[in-house]
């Protein structure tokens, strides 16, 4: 492998998907709690993996796995139940103990400030559509980093702004369930602005490496027809460039501003929420960009230039070459995309902050979970990262999504991304074959 000796191998999770402890020790209500209460989820995260109580067991699992780093997210409502103002010390204490426990196990903590669980109190005031939420986010960043910044050195501001923006505010299939273009573009702008505002706050508290985790759907044209090529370019703008470009100082893509204007999505030359100076703040210097990569998609004018529809349903027994999320398995596109990002944006470093596959294998009679499909997926994607490094991409880390099976948002518990199987009736954890495979891969490189 071309990967350098100091390459970081880790695992990732997020608060709502694993913690549970919904109202414990003073935790406030988040937009996902409300979304679940409104019947928008097959299961709620009220208990999830009960990590709030089992965190020591989970650190032990990571210790045995031998990972260098653990990416987790902080539940804003544990720390600031109302989003701003009164601080809940008990919530901060939880993350304080977690960070200490990780460091004792020799694992570098990678806190993510925002993995989509906005305090409901802020949502009641307009949420991300309200510019005041940017200030609330900076306040939250200050409170958390003020407590953890003496020990946590690597930080991520936001996870996947595209998802929070468009699934949450346009399609309405994720919390908070809004469905308007104007609200989506406004929310997305404020999310990016809050990233820019939080970076210096984190640095002031001692953070040494600060970045943002952007998701992507690299797209390729289904045919070489001009119509499909145009649809692919639009899709790339909608899905990828809309966030990467401003973060790297290129502003919002001109072709997309024109297309949105033409489609009547906002009036004027700027998106509704933009103010002078915002783009400079969004383009604040970062130490790395996180990339969450799962799949890439063929785009055609016929399916639509803003659609991810592949025609493959989610669920068990996917067609060959797909995971149970219905996503095509496309490791070679990861190599290509990493090289593309390197050339277009010249990031100082790229970290694969999520990559993984959903397969619902469960323990057999002998207790062993044979998840060879996951091993194949991970091996192919690590090889794809290796090829990108060989080609000059500055990738220095790779995090598997996920340490353990967890609440896969609106897909519920049926989608299983874990290296560790979780019996959601009892909370019992049991490592799968992929866990031992990853453990050996890490050990062999040492």
Instruction: State yes or no: residue 292 binds ligand FCB (CB under 6 A).
Output: yes
**How far is C-alpha 337 from the chain's CA centre?**
17
Q: What are phi and psi of 174, to 5 degrees?
A: -120, 160
The nearest distance, CB 116 to ligand FCB, in angstroms, is: 8
Residues 70, 416: contact at Cβ < 8 Å?
Answer: no
Nearer to ligand FCB, 67 or 143 (CB): 67
Sites for ligand FCB among residues 241-260 (CB under 6 A): none
Q: What are phi and psi of 275, to 5 degrees?
A: -125, 160
Closest CA to 71 of 114, 112, 15: 112
Residues 408, 345: contact at Cβ < 8 Å?
Answer: no
User: Of these, 30, 159, 194, 232, which contacts ligand FCB (CB under 6 A)?
Assistant: 159
* Range in contact with ligand FCB (rule: CB under 6 A) among 157-165, 247-255, 279-287, 421-429: 157-165
User: Of these, 409, 435, 437, 438, which contacts ligand FCB (CB under 6 A)?
Assistant: 409
Q: Tell me, yes or no, if 160 is annotated catalytic.
A: yes
Q: How far apart are CA 141 and CA 112, in angstroms?
A: 10
Q: Tell me, yes or no, if 354 is annotated catalytic.
A: yes
Residue 37 three-state SS:
helix
Q: What are phi and psi of 170, to 5 degrees?
A: -115, -55
The nearest distance, CB 268 to ligand FCB, in angstroms, is: 32
User: Of these, 58, 160, 361, 371, which contacts ligand FCB (CB under 6 A)?
Assistant: 160
Binding characters for ligand FCB, 329-368, by CB under 6 A (x = yes) = -------------------------x--------------
The nearest distance, CB 409 to ligand FCB, in angstroms, is: 6
Q: How far apart are CA 55 and CA 78, in angstroms?
A: 15
Q: How far apart are CA 332 and CA 391, in angstroms?
A: 13
**How far is C-alpha 333 from the chain's CA centre?**
19
Instruction: State yes or no: residue 52 binds ligand FCB (CB under 6 A).
Output: no
Closest CA to 157 of 98, 213, 95, 216: 213
Residue 441 three-state SS:
helix
* Range in contact with ligand FCB (rule: CB under 6 A) among 142-150, 159-167, 330-338, 381-389: 159-167
Nearer to ligand FCB, 145 or 323 (CB): 323
Nearer to ligand FCB, 70 or 266 (CB): 70
Instruction: State yes or no: residue 278 binds ligand FCB (CB under 6 A).
Output: no
User: Of these, 77, 235, 408, 416, which contacts ligand FCB (CB under 6 A)?
Assistant: 408
User: Of these, 417, 435, 437, 438, which contacts ligand FCB (CB under 6 A)?
Assistant: 417
Q: Which of 19, 160, 183, 274 is catalytic?
A: 160
Q: Is the peptide bond before 421 cis (omega within 30 degrees of 0)?
A: no
For 147, the token pair is 């407590």
| Residues labelled as active-site residues | 160, 354
Binding site for ligand FCB (CB under 6 A): 14, 17, 159-160, 163, 215, 292, 354, 401, 408-409, 417
């Amino acid at each position: 492998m071309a990967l350098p000796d100091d390459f970081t191998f880790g695992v990732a999770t997020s608060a709502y998907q694993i913690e549970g402890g919904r109202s414990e020790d003073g935790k406030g209500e988040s937009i996902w709690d409300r979304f679940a209460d409104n019947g928008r989820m097959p299961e709620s995260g009220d208990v999830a993996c009960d990590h709030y109580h089992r965190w020591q067991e989970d650190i032990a699992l990571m210790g045995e796995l031998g990972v260098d780093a653990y990416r987790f997210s902080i539940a804003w409502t544990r720390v600031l139940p109302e989003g701003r103002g009164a601080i809940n010390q008990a919530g901060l204490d939880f993350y304080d103990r977690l960070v200490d426990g990780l460091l004792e196990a020799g694992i570098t903590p990678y806190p993510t400030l925002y993995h989509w669980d906005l305090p409901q109190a802020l949502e009641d005031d307009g949420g991300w559509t309200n510019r005041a939420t940017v200030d609330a986010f900076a306040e939250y960043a200050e409170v958390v980093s003020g407590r953890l910044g003496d020990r946590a050195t690597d930080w991520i501001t936001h996870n996947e702004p595209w998802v929070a923006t468009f699934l949450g505010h346009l399609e309405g299939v994720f919390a908070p369930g809004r469905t308007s273009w104007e609200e989506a573009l406004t929310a997305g702008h404020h999310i990016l602005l809050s990233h820019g505002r939080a970076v210096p706050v984190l640095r002031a508290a001692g953070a040494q490496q600060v970045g943002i985790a952007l998701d992507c759907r690299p797209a390729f044209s289904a045919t070489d027809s001009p119509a499909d090529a145009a649809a692919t370019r639009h899709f790339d703008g909608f899905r990828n460039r809309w966030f990467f470009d401003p973060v790297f100082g290129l502003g919002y893509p001109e072709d997309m501003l024109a297309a949105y204007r033409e489609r009547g999505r906002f009036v004027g030359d700027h998106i509704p929420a933009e103010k002078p100076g915002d783009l400079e703040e969004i383009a604040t210097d970062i130490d790395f960009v996180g990339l969450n990569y799962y799949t890439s998609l063929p785009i055609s004018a016929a399916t639509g230039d803003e659609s991810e529809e592949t025609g493959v349903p989610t669920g068990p027994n996917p067609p060959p070459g797909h995971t149970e999320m219905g996503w095509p398995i496309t490791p070679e596109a990861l190599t290509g995309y990493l090289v593309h990002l390197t050339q277009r944006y010249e990031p100082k470093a790229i970290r694969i902050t999520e990559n993984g596959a959903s397969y619902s294998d469960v323990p057999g009679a002998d207790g062993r979970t044979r998840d060879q499909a996951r091993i194949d997926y991970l091996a192919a994607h690590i090889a794809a990262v290796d090829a990108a490094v060989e080609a000059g991409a500055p990738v220095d880390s790779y995090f598997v999504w996920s340490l353990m099976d967890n609440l896969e948002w609106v897909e519920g518990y049926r989608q299983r991304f874990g290296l560790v199987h979780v019996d959601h009736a009892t909370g019992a954890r049991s490592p799968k074959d992929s866990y031992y495979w990853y453990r050996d891969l890490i050990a062999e490189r040492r």
